[in-house]
Amino acid sequence: EAQVTQNPRYLITVTGKKLTVTCSQNMNHEYMSWYRQDPGLGLRQIYYSMNVEVTDKGDVPEGYKVSRKEKRNFPLILESPSPNQTSLYFCASSPQGNGYTFGSGTRLTVV
């Protein structure tokens, strides 16, 4: 089944403890992206990647890192999480210029 898989689905962590949210797609898509969704603010892009070894900042990149060493994987790294990074995170992928397939989301709480 064609899909984007994110893990974990839920995560509660403490301020400053490094964490990684994984994202993997099995559709050989070039484009991958991370979003956070907050009430009243909609979906905001954190980082995106147009192909392997190519990553670019989105609208809200501060406090996040990404890497794209393989086409299928696009992990999101929070080196030192803070409470304002509590949010619902989505990974998405697409063949360039077409519809996106989204993961099921990761609900992160930083206390």
Partner 1 sequence: SQQGEEDPQALSIQEGENATMNCSYKTSINNLQWYRQNSGRGLVHLILIRSNEREKHSGRLRVTLDTSKKSSSLLITASRAADTASYFCAFIMNRDDKIIFGKGTRLHILP
- Binding residues (CB under 8 A) for partner 1: these are 4, 31, 33, 35, 40-43, 45, 48, 50, 58, 88, 90, 92, 94, 96-105, 107
Q: Can you tell me which residue has the tokens 């490094």?
A: 18
Q: Can you tell me which residue has the tokens 């989105």?
A: 58
Q: Can you tell me which residue has the tokens 């992928």?
A: 93
Query: CB of 59: closest distance to partner 1 in angstroms?
Result: 8
Query: CB of 97: closest distance to partner 1 in angstroms?
Result: 6
Query: CB of 43: closest distance to partner 1 in angstroms?
Result: 4
User: Which of 2, 14 has the CB closer to partner 1?
Assistant: 2
Q: Are 56 and 66 in contact (CB under 8 A)?
A: no
Q: Can you tell me which residue has the tokens 């099995």?
A: 26
Q: Can you tell me which residue has the tokens 């907050």?
A: 38
